[in-house]
Structure 1
Amino acid sequence: MGIIIKQSIRSTIITYLGIAIGTVNVLWLYPKYFTPEQIGILRLLQDIPFLLSLFVRLGASNIIDRYFSYYRNDEMQHNGFLFIILLYPLLGYLIFLSGFFLFQEYWQSLYTEKSALFTGYMIFIVPLTFFMMYADIFEAYLRAYYQTFFSNFLKEVVLRIFVTVIVIGFAVKLLNFNSTILFYSLAYGALLLIMVLYIRKQKILFLTPNAAFFKNEKTKEIISFLLYIIPGAAGGIIAQKIDTLMIGAISGKNANEGLENVAVYSLAYFIGSVIEVPRKAITQISLPLLAKAFKENDQDAINVLYKKNSLIQFLSGVFIFGLIWLNVDDLFLFIPNSDVYRSGKYVILLIGVSKLFDMSTSINNEMIQFSQYFRFNLIAVILLGVVTIIMNLIFIPLYSIMGAALALVLTLFVYNIVKTIFIYSKMGMIPFSKEMIPALILACGILLVPLIIPFTCSSWQYALFIIPIKSLLFGLLFIFIVRLFKMSPEMNSLMDGALDYVRTCLKK
C-alpha cells in the first residue's frame, strides 16, 4: 500500500498544477472581470455539454477501456477498432442534434424565467458537446496505451491556460463577451485537435476500416455490454452536475438571479471539490492491485485494500478540508466582489462533508465493478440519479444554493450507504477499521477550529501573511496527531521518507 501512496502523490502533481491555474481563474479573474450572470453562463456552457457528451458517446470510452486489448494489433491497425469507435458515437450526436433543434424553444423555456441571458448562448452547446465527446474518446484511447500524462496535462493545465488568456483578452477589451464565449468554445476544439495530432505523431491513429472487427468474438459481447452501460451512463449524467443545471433553471426570484446563484455555487463547489483530488489519484493507482486480487480471489487482499483506501482517502481529505475551512473567511478577501460570493461559505462546508463521507466509503464502486455483482452498479447509479433529482427539486426551491449542497450531502450519503450495505451482504466486508475512530474525532475537531479560534484578517495583504502561518501550524498539529495515534502506518512511513529527504538536502 505504501507504493500506492507514493505513486498517487506523483500523479496528483499535474492535477494540483491545474487546480492552481483554475484557482486564479475561478477565484480571481472571473469575479473581477465578469458579472455573476456572465460567470453563470460560462459555468452552464461547461456543465451542460459535459453531461451531454457523456450520453451522446453511447459508451464508446467504456468500450475502449474494457475491450481494446482484445482487438489490439498494431500491424493490423487494431482490426479497424478505432474507426468503428469514432464512427459509432456520431449516431448519438445526431440524435442529440435532432432533439436540440426540434425542441429548441422548449430547452430555452427552461431558463427563460430564472436565467434569461443564457438562452442567447445555448447554440454553443452544439460544438462544445462534439468537442468534449471526442476528447473523452481519444483520452480513453491514449489510456489504453498507458499514456495518461499528456491527456491529463492538456485537460488540467493547457485548457485552463487557454481560458486564462481568453479572460485576459476580455479584461483588456480585446474581446467582448460574445467573442469570449466563441473563443471559449474554440479552446475545447483546440484541445481536441492537439490530442489528435499527438496520437498521429505517436503513429497510432489508425482510421482504416476493417471488416475483421465484426468477426471478432468479442463484438457480440460489446453489444450486450452497451445495453448495460448506456442506462448506467444516463443515471451518471443526471447525478454528476444536475445541481448546477437545476439551480440555473429553478432558483432565484427574477430573470437572471438563477445565473448569479450558479456563479456563487460554482465557486463554492470548486473550493469544496479540491478535497477529493487525492481520492481520484489513490483510486487510480489501486485499481491494478484490486483487479489482481479479484482475479486470484484473494479475499484478504481485497479487504485490506478496501479498509486502507478508506483510511488514507479520509485522512488526506480531512487534511485538505482542514486547510480550507481554517482559512475560508480569509480566502474570500482575495475574491473580487467577495460580498456576492460569501453566501457560499456554508455551501463549501456541506460539499466538503459530502466529499469526506464519499472518500470514507473507499473504493466501493470499483469493488462492485470487479466482482460478479457488477450489474448492481447499474441499479445503484439509476438510484443515484433519481434521488439526486428528487432532493434537488425539494431543497433548491426552499434554500437555493444551500439546498443544492444539502441535496448533494443526502444523495451521496444514501448512495454510499446502499453500496456499503450491498458489499457487506455479498462479500462480508466493510471499509471502516478501528483507526477510523480517531480519524473521525480529528475531523470533528477540525470543524470546530474556526469557532474556537475565530480569527480572521481585515485585508487581503494581512491574509497573505497570516494564511501560510495558520496553515503551517495546522499541518504540524495534524501530522503530530496522526503520528501520535498511529492512525496510518503508510502515512507515517511517507512522512518519515519526506523528513529523511529534507535532512539529506540540509546536509548537502
Structure 2
Amino acid sequence: MGIILKQSFKNTIFIFLGFGLGGINTLFLYPNFLDDKYYGLVIYLLSTSNLLMPLIAFGTHHAIVKFYSSYKTKEEKDRFLSSLVFLPLLIALPFAFFFNFFYEEIGDYLASEENIIIKDYTYVIYLAAVTCAYFEVFYAWAKVQFQSVFGNILREIWNRAIIMILLFAVYFKFITETEFISYLIASYFLRMFVMMFYALKLYIPKFTFSRPNNFKEIIRFSGYIILAGSAGAILLDIDKYMIPGKESLATAAYYTVAVFIGSFIEAPSRAMLNILQPLTSKTLNEENHKEVASLYKKSSINLLLISGLFFLLVNTNVAQLFELLPPKYSGGGAVIVVLMISLLKLYSGFLGNNGAIINNSKFYKITLPISISMALSVYFLNKLFYYELDMGTEGLALATMIVIFAANTFKLFFVNRKFSITPFTEKSLMMILIIAVLYLGFNFWDFPISDIYIWKFPIHPIINIALKSILILVIYIFLVLKLKISNEFDSLLKKYYR
C-alpha cells in the first residue's frame, strides 16, 4: 500500500481542493452570480454530455488500464497504444456528422416549451462529450505509468477554477451568461490538450499501424465496456436529464446542490481508486491472488474510515449548511436527498476496490448485464417515483440509492464467489458502530449559537459547523487510534506526529 498511500495522499489533497472550489461554486457563486435558469442549463448540458461520452470514448480508457501491464516489451506497448489512441476519433467523426445533419431535430427533442433555451446550446453536449472522452484516454495513459496526480489536478481543479473565474467575470459584467457557456467549453478543449501533452511526455510510443496480437480481445472488451459505461452514465446523470422534462431548469440546479453535498464524502474514494485501478489490474494480470485479497481488505477499511468521517461531518451539519444558502435550495426535502446520497457513497467506499477487481479480471463481461439492469431500473424507478407518485427530487435520490445499493451488494457476492475473498476484516463492524453511534449522538443538536451576522450574512451556522466538526474529529480519531482500526492510518499519523 506504500505507493497507494503516497499518491492517494497527494490525490486526496487535490480532490479536496477541487471539492472546496466546487463547493464555493455550487453553494455560493452559482446561486448568487448566475441566473437559476442558466445554472440549471449548465447542469443539464454537462449531464447530458456525460450520457454521450462513454459512446465516444469507446471504452478506450478502460482498455488502456486493463491491458497495458500485460505487455512486456516496448514494441508491444507501442502497438497497443497506437491502436487505441485513434479509436474514439472513429466514433466522434460520425457523431459530428449526425449532430450537424439533425441539429434542429435533436434540439426540438431535447427542449421543452418551458425550457426552450436548451435548443440553442445543443452543440455544447457534443463538444463536451468529445473533449471529456479524450481527456480520459490520456489520463488513463498517465495512470498506467503510475502518475495519476497531475491528471487528477486537471480533473478535479481545472474546470472548477475556470468556472469560479468565469462566474466572477459574469458578476462584474465582463462577460454575459451566454458567453459563460462558450468560455467554459473552450476550457474543456484546453484541458484535453494539456492532458495529452503531459501523457506524451511520460511515454511517447513509436506510432505504428501494426495491431497488437490480442486486438480482437481488446475490441471485445471495449465493446462490453462502452455499453456498460453508457449504462453507468445513465445511472449517474439520468435524474438531472429528466428534471427539465417535468419542471424548470432551476429545479435541476437546486437538486444538484443537494447531490453535491451528499457526494462530498466520496472524495477519498476517488483519490485512492485512481492508483488502485492500475495496481489491481497489475496484480490480476500477474495472478497474484494474495495481493488482490490484501488490496481488497485494506482499501475497504481505509475508505470506510475516511468516508465515515466525512459522512459524519456532512450529515450532522447539513441543516446549518443550508442556512447559508438561499431558502429555495433547502426546499423539497434537500436534507433527505443529502442523507440518501451520502449513505450510498459510504457503502460504495466500504466495498473498496470491488469494481476494479471485476472490471480488470476475466469476469469483466458481467459488468454489462449489471450496468444495463441498473440503467433500466433507475429509469423506471425515476418515472415511478418522480412522475407518477410525484415524490419530487427525493424520489430521484431514492431511486438512485435503491439501484446502486442493490448492484453493489451483487458485486460483493460476485467477487466472493469468483475469488473467495471479501473486503471485511475484524475491524469492519467496529468501524460501522463508531460511525452509527456518532451520527446518532451529534445529528439532533447544535451549539446554542444564533443570530450573528456580518453585513447581513449569517455567521452563526459557520460557528456551529466549526465547533461540532472539531468535536467530532477529536472523538473519531481518538476511537480509531484506541481501537487500532487501521495499521496504515496509525502509521501515517505517527509519521507526522514524530
Q: Quickly name the TM-score band, shorter chain normalised.
A: 0.7 to 0.9
In structure 2, list runs of 5 or more residues that go unmatched: 453-457
Q: How does 1:429-448 map to 2 (within 5 A)?
A: 429-448=421-440
Given candidates 248, 265, 275, the residue that maps to 1:275 is 265
- Give the whole-Å Cα distance in 2 for the aligned partners of 1:2 and 1:309: 12
**In the alignment, what sits opposite 1:498?**
496
1:139-178 maps to which residues of 2 (within 5 A)?
A: 139-178=139-178
1:72–1:21 distance in 2 versus 1, CA, 3 Å:
farther
State the distance in 2 between where 1:274 and 1:384 align. Answer: 23
SS of residue in 2 equivalent to 1:112: coil
Other structure's SS at 1:384 match:
helix
Q: CA deviation at 1:119?
A: 2.7
Answer yes or no: is 1:49 the counterpart of 2:49.
Answer: yes
Distance 1:419 1:203 in 2: 34
TM-score by length of 2: 0.88
User: Once the 2 structures are TM-superposed, how far is the Cα of residue 368 of structure 1 from its aligned partner?
Assistant: 2.2
Give the Å deviation of 1:151: 2.3
Which residues in structure 2 correspond to 1:229-378 (within 5 Å)? Answer: 229-249=225-245, 251-252=246-247, 257=248, 259-287=249-277, 290-291=280-281, 293-295=283-285, 297-335=287-325, 337-343=326-332, 344-378=334-368
Q: Which secondary structure does the structure 2 equivalent of 1:375 belong to?
A: helix
Distance 1:329 1:116 in 2: 34
Report how far residue 491 of structure 1 moved: 2.5
* Equivalent residue pairs, number: 488
Q: Counterpart of 1:466 in structure 2: which amino acid?
A: N
Mapped to 2, the partners of 1:70 and 1:371 lie a distance apart of 12
Q: Kindly indicate whether the alpha-carbon contact (under 8 Å) linking 2:69 and 2:285 is maintained by their aligned counterparts in 1.
A: no
CA distance in 2, matches of 1:320, 1:175: 37
Shift of the alpha carbon at 1:301?
A: 4.0
Structure 1 residue 348: deviation in Å? 0.9
Alpha-carbon distance between aligned partners in 2 of 1:285 and 1:358, rounded to the nearest angstrom: 17
Tell me: CA distance 1:478–1:50, structure 2 relative to 1, closer, same or farther (3 Å): same
Q: Aligned pair in 2 of structure 1 residues 114, 354: CA closer, same or farther (>3 Å)?
A: farther
Q: Are the equivalent residues in 2 in contact too, given 1:332–1:342 (CA < 8 A)?
A: no
Supply the distance in 2 between the matched residues of 1:97 and 1:3 (Cα, whole angstroms): 41
- Report the more deviating stretch, 451-460 or 22-31: 451-460
2:84 is matched with 85
- Check conservation: 1:310, 1:361, Cα contact below 8 A: yes
Query: What fraction of aligned residue pairs are identical, expressed as a percent?
Result: 27
Match of 2:63 in 1: 63
Q: Is the 8 A contact 1:80 1:209 kept in 2?
A: no
Tell me whether 310-319 or 143-152 shows the greater mean CA deviation: 143-152
Shift of 1:276: 0.9
TM-score with structure 1 length normalisation? 0.86
Distance (Å, rounded) in 2 between the aligned partners of 1:297 and 1:135: 30
The alpha-carbon deviation at position 114 of structure 1 amounts to: 5.2
- Aligned AA for 1:233? G
Which one of the candidate residues 369, 374, 398 is aligned to 1:406? 398
Could you say what the CA RMSD is over the residues aligned between the two structures, in angstroms?
A: 2.9
Map 1:82-121 onto structure 2 (within 5 A).
82=82, 84-100=83-99, 101-102=101-102, 104-106=104-106, 108-113=108-113, 115-121=115-121
Q: In 2 relative to 1, CA 412–274 (structure 1 residues): closer, same or farther, beyond 3 Å?
A: same
Q: Distance in 1 between matches of 2:399 and 2:348?
A: 14
Q: Look up the match of 2:455.
A: none
Whether contact under 8 Å (1:248, 1:262) holds in the other structure is: yes
| Whole-angstrom CA distance in 1 between matches of 2:384 and 2:42 | 26
Report the CA distance between 1:109 and its aligned residue.
3.1
* Counterpart check, 1:423 vs 2:419: no
Q: Is the 8 A contact 1:276 1:317 kept in 2?
A: yes
- After superposition, the C-alpha distances for 1:234-292 in whole angstroms (9 at most, x for unaligned) are 2222223222112232x32xxxx2x1221011111111111011112233444465445
1:93–1:296 Cα change, 3 Å:
closer
1:300 Cα deviation (Å)?
Answer: 4.5
* Counterpart secondary structure, 1:496: helix
1:375-422, CA deviations, whole angstroms, 9 ceiling, x for partnerless residues?
A: 222222222222222222222222221111111110111101111122
Change (3 A) 1:220 1:436: closer
Residue correspondence of structure 1 range 456-471 to structure 2 within 5 A: 457-459=450-452, 460-471=458-469
1 CA distance for matches of 2:142 and 2:5? Answer: 24
Is the Cα–Cα contact under 8 Å of residues 53 and 130 in structure 1 kept in the other structure? yes
Name the counterpart of 1:34: 34
| 8 A contact 1:307–1:431 mirrored in 2 | yes
Contact persistence 1:49–1:128 (CA under 8 A)? yes
Aligned-pair distance for 1:87?
3.3
Residue of structure 2 in register with 1:482 after alignment:
480
Deviation at 1:53, TM superposition (A): 1.8
Name stretches of at least 5 consecutive residues in structure 1 with no aligned partner.
501-508
Q: Which secondary structure does the structure 2 equivalent of 1:372 belong to? A: coil
Q: Is the 8 A contact 2:59 2:223 kept in 1?
A: no
